[in-house]
Amino acid sequence: MTKPTETTYDLVVFGATSFVGQILTRYLFESYGVGGEVKWAIAGRSETKLNTIKTDLGTGAGELPVILADATDDVALKTLCEQTRVVISTVGPYALFGEPLIKACVAAGTDYCDLTGEVQWIRRMVERYEDQAKKSGARIVHCCGFDSIPSDMGVWFLQQQAEKTFGEPCQDVRMRVKVAKGGISGGTVASMINVVKEAAADPKLRKELANPFSICPPEHRSKVRQPSLKGAEFDKTFNVWLAPFVMGAINTRVVHRSNAMQNARYGKEFTYDEAMMTGSGTKGRLTAYGITAALAGFFTASAIKPTRWLVEKFVPQPGEGPDPEAQKAGFYDLRFVGRTQDGRTMITKVTGDADPGYGSTSKMLGEAGMCLAFDIPADQPGGFWTPASVLDGKLMERLTSKAGLTFEVVETR
């Protein structure tokens, strides 16, 4: 089967009634309108809730098309995919609800993007559907939210600048979260708990989750030991204490897959890791130890059935998250330190102007979908890609002109 050439829609937001889906729908409506050059629709299982979203959007949203489809209805998903060039999915946890839509997109040759951070599910989808996606022409792009566009595109940007300045890429790159202000939604927590739950019951999965190349092609491996911050540590580059970054587990794997999908453009022995800056002095050190302990406690409690219900009781529930004011008040500043094999160094930064997990994620996800619909050549092969490996500079332009991100070289030495 070949890719659909004539479709009713350029893109469809599947799961428009979810927490992020509602934010994304408003972003697309305010950015691209309805009935203009961009033909798009919203989809979900509840007509009542979808129509409520249209009402909430206000004047001009009445003509926004609605498609009814349940995440488990293969026939409805097939019909949906045959009507559009791109599907943007916000229906998670993806390990529980995501596979039928991937299957339908791959069969129809329809492009797809999402905001999953569930590495074990990505691995399964690649193993089960990549060969078929290559045949049908479907371009599947996971991780198009805060995990992992700022990390993935941040490394891509740094390496572009390193090649221009040094004549070669940086062999080692470290990302440090300087600051990130924003809330967390119940959907994200549910996805994290599900990953821990699966890993607790499956020793093979625990081993896979420890592998930084777990979503890379089998032939792409490095003999160099990959750095991985497990506890509090002092960073001499910035003279601050560091703590583990919870999104690092997925971001590092996406960056390594990007390297693999670009024929090891960053180098066959490329190393990468991520961490959070917690400040200097005694306060920074105590904060680093506190974050490390809190993360360990969360994952330990989530892995054990008797205590898992306590975690689920006291964290945000699916559909809950930061209010619009909190989303707009959020921001983030990420620093990337790259070093070439001979020691030359470049520091870059990536910033976002909204809550990282929701306000900024919705804009990044929307522009990733737009990029798939309008910017990628028709002859770009199908398969499971990453944001940097298939959307590259075209996405960079959209992120900086529309989504509130900045990419900047801070220092070269």
In this prediction, residue 318 carries a pLDDT of: 61
Distance in angstroms (rounded) separating the CA atoms of residues 395 and 375: 8
Question: Do 212 and 339 reside in the same domain of the chain?
Answer: yes
Q: Is residue 224 part of a domain?
A: yes
Question: Do 189 and 337 reside in the same domain of the chain?
Answer: yes
Question: Do 312 and 396 reside in the same domain of the chain?
Answer: no
Distance in angstroms (rounded) separating the CA atoms of residues 34 and 192: 35
In this prediction, residue 221 carries a pLDDT of: 81
Distance in angstroms (rounded) separating the CA atoms of residues 180 and 275: 12
Tokens representing 93 are: 């946890």
Q: Is residue 108 part of a domain?
A: yes
Question: Do 186 and 325 reside in the same domain of the chain?
Answer: yes
Question: Do 83 and 16 reside in the same domain of the chain?
Answer: yes
Distance in angstroms (rounded) separating the CA atoms of residues 9 and 11: 5
In this prediction, residue 207 carries a pLDDT of: 76
Distance in angstroms (rounded) separating the CA atoms of residues 330 and 56: 23
- Specify the 3-state DSSP secondary structure of 333: strand
User: What is the mean pLDDT of each successive set of 10 residues along the chain, which is 413 residues long?
Assistant: 72 95 96 95 97 95 96 97 97 92 98 94 96 98 95 98 97 96 69 75 77 92 87 95 92 96 96 96 96 85 73 64 78 97 97 92 97 95 98 97 98 95
User: How wide is the angle at C-alpha 397 spanned by C-alphas 396 and 403, nearest 5°?
Assistant: 80
| CATH number of the domain where residue 87 is located | 3.40.50.720
Q: Which domain holds residue 55?
A: 9-145+360-401
Number of domains forming the structure of the chain? 2
Q: Which residue has the tokens 């583990």?
A: 244
Question: Do 368 and 227 reside in the same domain of the chain?
Answer: no
Cα atoms in the Cβ-side hemisphere of radius 13 Å centred on 312: 15
- Answer yes or no: are the C-beta atoms of 183 and 357 closer than 8 Å: yes
Amino acid letter, 267: G
In this prediction, residue 357 carries a pLDDT of: 86
In this prediction, residue 9 carries a pLDDT of: 97
Question: Do 245 and 332 reside in the same domain of the chain?
Answer: yes
- Specify the 3-state DSSP secondary structure of 275: strand
Question: Do 205 and 108 reside in the same domain of the chain?
Answer: no
Q: Which residue has the tokens 């974050």?
A: 291
Task: Render 205-227 in DSSP notation, one character per residue.
Answer: HHHHHT-TTTTS-TT---SSPPP
- Other Cβ atoms less than 10 A from the Cβ of 343: the count is 7
Question: Do 94 and 209 reside in the same domain of the chain?
Answer: no
Q: At what angle do helices 186-201 and 19-32 cross, to 10 degrees?
A: 130
Amino acid letter, 1: M
- Specify the 3-state DSSP secondary structure of 178: strand
Q: Which residue has the tokens 């990390």?
A: 151
Query: Of 120, 23, 115, nearest to 359 (Cα)?
Result: 23
Q: Is residue 4 part of a domain?
A: no
Task: Render 23-74 in DSSP notation, one character per residue.
Answer: HHHHHHHHHH-SSSSS-EEEEES-HHHHHHHHHHH-TT-TT--EEE--TT-H
- Answer yes or no: are the C-beta atoms of 42 and 67 closer than 8 Å: yes
Q: Is residue 85 part of a domain?
A: yes
DSSP character at residue 138? -
Distance in angstroms (rounded) separating the CA atoms of residues 102 and 113: 10
Tokens representing 116 are: 């999953």
The pTM of this model reads: 0.93
Question: Do 305 and 209 reside in the same domain of the chain?
Answer: yes
Q: Is residue 38 part of a domain?
A: yes
Question: Do 130 and 257 reside in the same domain of the chain?
Answer: no
Distance in angstroms (rounded) separating the CA atoms of residues 188 and 128: 25
Q: Is residue 1 part of a domain?
A: no
Distance in angstroms (rounded) separating the CA atoms of residues 240 and 233: 9
Q: Is residue 132 part of a domain?
A: yes
Phi-psi region of 132 (alpha: psi -120 to 50; beta: other; left: phi over 0): alpha
DSSP character at residue 388? I
- Specify the 3-state DSSP secondary structure of 300: helix
- Answer yes or no: are the C-beta atoms of 218 and 126 closer than 8 Å: no
Distance in angstroms (rounded) separating the CA atoms of residues 322 and 360: 12
Q: Which residue has the tokens 């951070």?
A: 117
Q: Is residue 49 part of a domain?
A: yes
Amino acid letter, 319: G
- Other Cβ atoms less than 10 A from the Cβ of 291: the count is 20
Q: Which residue has the tokens 């961490």?
A: 275
- Answer yes or no: are the C-beta atoms of 352 and 331 closer than 8 Å: yes
Question: Do 117 and 199 reside in the same domain of the chain?
Answer: no
User: How wide is the angle at C-alpha 156 spanned by C-alphas 189 and 349, nearest 5°?
Assistant: 75
- Answer yes or no: are the C-beta atoms of 152 and 254 closer than 8 Å: yes
